[in-house]
Chain A
C-alpha cells in the first residue's frame, strides 16, 4: 500500500472514530456489486453509480436532480448550421487522479476525449477488444453509424462530425458511456501489458478517487482534492457498503450503519416516513410501464379495439395494488418530468360498459387474448404477474378471456420481438438521456419493429413527426413536434400506458444536499453531513 492509500484510510478511520468532527465519511448502502469500473462496457445503474458518477466526468453533464444538460469537461460547444458538426471547447486545468501505479504528467486535453470514444468506435484501436468489445450503450445509441469522425482541432478543441443531423447528440454525450478516461493512463497500461486494469483500477477526473474494492462487500473512495469544481465534493470519504437485501438496507439505515439507501421495499416506505431517524426523499421516475398490443395482428390492428381495451383497465387499482401507491397513472408514453410532455392529452377514462359496447361495435366478442407478464422486477413494474392478473379480471368484465403467459427473462425478451407474437405484452422503459427521442423513437419508431418496439407499430404520421424532431436542433420546435406525436399516439393507442413509478430515497436526517436524480443515478458530489 502506498502512502496515499494509508492517508486515505487514516482519514477514514479518523472520520468514523471522531464522528462528524473533522473528516467526513458518507456511507451509501448500495444494492449490488458493480460489474466493473469502465462505464462504457456496461448498462446497469449499479455500475454507473460506482464508476461514471463517482470517478469520471463527461464533456457535458446532467444537472443533478434534473435532465438539463450543463457544461462538464467541455466549457461550451457549437453546432454547425447543417447540424452535422459538434465542436466542444474543453476546460483547461482539469487534473486526472493519481494512484499507486499512475501519476499523470499532464492535464486533461483533446487526446483523452478522442481516446475515450475511439476505443469504442474503431475496431483497430488496441483497447477495442481488450475487454471483450461489448460497448453496449455506444452500440445501442447507434453511435457507430452516427459518428463519421472525431477530430482534434487543437489541444483544447474537439470536433465530432456526424453522418446525419441528430438533435439528441449533446444529451447522449452526457450519458455514462461517454465518460472521459485518461489516454495517458491507457498508454501506460498498454505498455505494461495490463490493459484489463482500465476496468479494474479506474483513473478519472471526477469528484472521488478510487481507493479499493472488495467484491460483494465494499467500495472505498476518497475526495479528489484537485477537483475542478470549486468546493466539491463536500465529504472527505465515500464508502459503498454493498447490501443486496432491501430489508437489511433499511435496518442498516435505522442503525446508523449507512446514511443513504436506494430502492426501499414499497411496503416499508410508510414506516420509514413515520421514523424520525429517516427522511424519505421522493421524485417521479423517468420511466413508463405499459401494455403493448401486437398491432400487426387482428383484432389488435384496429385502433378502436385497442382503445376499447384501454378503457377496460382500472389503472388506479394497479397503482394501489402493484405499486402500493408509489406510482402515478401514465397517460402519455413519456413521463411528466420530461420536457415536451403533453399535459393536454386526455387519458382514456376507465369505463367497462363503454368499452364493451365499443368492442361489440367492432365485432369483437368472446376474444381470447394472451397477456405476457415479465418474470423480473423493474421500477416501472414491481410485479408484472400481479398486474397481469388485475388486467385479466378487468378484461373479463368486457368479455375478453385472458391467458397469462411468462417466460424466463432472456426468452421473454427474445420471443416478444417476433412480428407474429400473440397478444399483448407488459414491458417498460427507463430513460437514458432525458430526451423524448429516447422514448418515442426507440419504443415506437419504425426502426424498432421486431426489436425494442414491442407493439410492432409503424405508423407513418407518427414516424414523420419524430423523424423531423430528431433532425431539428431548435428545442421549441422539437417540443411542438413531440407534443403532436403524443396526440397521435393517444388516438392510435398502440399501448395501454399504465404507470410511472415514484422513486423513494430514504436518507439519515444529517444528510444534506442529496438530490434524487431523475435518470436514476446516485450522485454524492454535493452531499454533506450536518454536525
Chain B
C-alpha cells in the first residue's frame, strides 16, 4: 500500500513541472498586454510603457522570466499581484476556503441524493420512478446555472423570504477568520445565531452548485449498477436466496462504486477550480471569480500562480481517488 502511494506520489513531479510551464505560457499566449489594459482609454506614452515594462520585468527574455518564476515557485513564492500588490499565495489561501467549503457541501449533497437515486433507478429499471428520476437528472444537467440561480433567488429569497439573497453570513456578524470556513468560524466566534446564519447562506449556492454533479452521479450510479446487476455473481447471490437489499446494497453497490468514485473525483476537481457563475451570483468570495478577474486584467502572477495552486489541489484529489480505488478494489493495489 505504501509503495503504491509513493509510486503515485512520484508522478506528481512531472505533472507539477508541466503545469508550471503551461500556466506560465498560457497567459502569455493570450493577446492583450497588461500595461495597455491597465492604462485603459487614457493610453500612455512610449517612454512610460518602456518604464513599466522594465518594472514588470517584461523586457527580459521569456526564458529568463520563466526561470525567475520557476525558482520563485520552488521557494514557495508565487509572486505578487500586479493589481493588489499582495502575494498571490496569501490571496489564494484567503479565498480558497470559501471555494472549498461550498464545493464540499455541494458534493456531499450531490452524493447524498445522487447515489440512492441512481441505485433506486437501477433497481426499478424502466419503471415510472426510473424514468422520472432520469428525466429530472437530464434537466438538472442541462440547466443554465445562471438562470437557475437567479430563479432560486427570486423565489426563495425575493418572494418567500426564506433564504438570504447572497453573501456568506449576515452583515450583523463580524469576527476574524480563523480557519476561513464560515461554518467553523461562526461556531468558534460564540456569537449566537452566527452558525445558523452561515447555514442559511449556504443553502442556495449549495443547491445550485450541486445540481450538475448530482445529475451526473445519479446517472453514473444507475448505469454502473445496471451493469453489475446483470453479472453472474449477482444471479448466484439471488439463487442462494440472499435478500434483495443485501444484494443491491453490498454486492452490487460496492462493485459499481469504481466508476462512480471516478466521476465524483472529477466533479470535485472541477468544483475546486472555483465555480465562476455560482460565486459571482451569490457574491461568494472564492477563487473562481478571482481567476476570471485576473485573466481579464492580464494579472500574470495571479493567473499563473492561481492555476498552479488549483492544479495542485486537483492532483491531491486525484491521488485520494486513486487511494480510494485501492481500498474498494484490492486488485488495484496488488497489480
Contact = CB atoms under 8 A, between A and B. Distances in A.
A327 B276 CA distance: 31
B40 A132 contact: no
Interface string A20-36: 00000101000000011
B31 A139 contact: no
A146 to B, nearest CB: 14
A216 B180 CA distance: 14
A242 interface: yes
B90 to A, nearest CB: 10
B282 A248 contact: yes
Interface string B191-210: 00000000000000000000
Give the secondary structure class of A's interface. mixed
Given A214-B285, A216-B285, A216-B289, A248 B165 contact: yes
Residue among B31, B154, B176, B280 having the largest count of chain A Cβ atoms under 10 Å: B31
B32 A212 contact: no
Interface stretch (A86-94, A178-186, A249-257): A249-257
A140 B86 CA distance: 24
B253 to A, nearest CB: 40
Contact of B174 (A12, A41, A252, A417): A12
Given A196-B85, A215-B94, A413 B167 contact: no
Contact of B44 (A196, A244, A407, A451): A451
Contacts of A215: 91, 94-95, 285, 290
Interface residues of A, number: 57
Nearest to B51: A133
A329 to B, nearest CB: 21
A410 B289 contact: no
B45 interface: yes
B34 interface: yes
Residue among B40, B154, B281, B284 having the largest count of chain A Cβ atoms under 10 Å: B40
A452 B52 CA distance: 18
A248 B283 contact: yes
A413 B36 contact: yes
Given A36-B85, A199-B85, A13 B172 contact: yes
B127 interface: no
Nearest to A453: B43
A95 B239 CA distance: 88
B281 to A, nearest CB: 5
B283 A242 contact: yes
B75 interface: no
A305 interface: no
A17 B170 CA distance: 11
A199 B84 CA distance: 9
Given A199-B85, A410-B32, A414-B36, A133 B55 contact: yes
Given A244-B289, A252-B166, A35 B83 contact: yes
Contacts of A408: 30-32
B165 A255 contact: yes
Contact of B171 (A241, A245, A255, A410): A241
Interface stretch (B8-16, B18-26, B156-164, B243-251): B156-164
Interface in A218-271: 218, 220, 239, 241-245, 247-248, 251-252, 254-255, 257
Contacts of B31: 407-408, 410-411
Contact of A452 (B37, B43, B80, B157): B43
A451 B49 CA distance: 12
Nearest to B87: A196
Nearest to B153: A251
Contacts of B84: 35-36
B298 interface: yes
B164 A248 contact: no
B82 interface: yes
Given A411-B32, A414-B33, A248 B171 contact: no
B331 interface: no
A448 B84 CA distance: 29
A410 B171 CA distance: 37
A134 interface: yes
A255 B41 CA distance: 37
Contacts of A451: 43-45
A498 B328 CA distance: 67
Residue among A216, A427, A429 having the largest count of chain B Cβ atoms under 10 Å: A216
B174 A212 contact: yes
B42 interface: yes
A138 B161 CA distance: 48
Given A245-B283, A252-B166, A218 B36 contact: no
Contact of B153 (A9, A27, A248, A428): A248
B150 interface: yes
Interface string B70-110: 00000000001011111000010011000000000000000
Interface string B136-175: 0000000000000010011001100100111110111110
A2 to B, nearest CB: 12
A217 interface: yes
Contacts of A407: 31
B39 interface: yes
Residue among A133, A136, A248, A451 having the largest count of chain B Cβ atoms under 10 Å: A248
A14 B37 CA distance: 44
B208 to A, nearest CB: 12
Contacts of A66: none
B42 A140 contact: yes
Interface in B260-315: 280-286, 289-290, 296, 298
A132 B85 contact: yes
B42 A9 contact: no
Contacts of B296: 409
B167 A217 contact: yes
B153 A239 contact: no
Nearest to A429: B41
16 contacts: A16-B171, A27-B171, A35-B84, A131-B85, A136-B38, A139-B44, A140-B42, A217-B168, A252-B166, A255-B157, A255-B161, A257-B171, A411-B32, A413-B37, A414-B36, A451-B44
Given A12-B172, A413-B43, 7 more contacts: A41-B85, A132-B55, A217-B168, A243-B167, A248-B166, A414-B36, A452-B43
The 7 closest A-B pairs by CB, nearest first: A410-B32, A216-B285, A451-B43, A217-B285, A410-B37, A16-B172, A452-B43
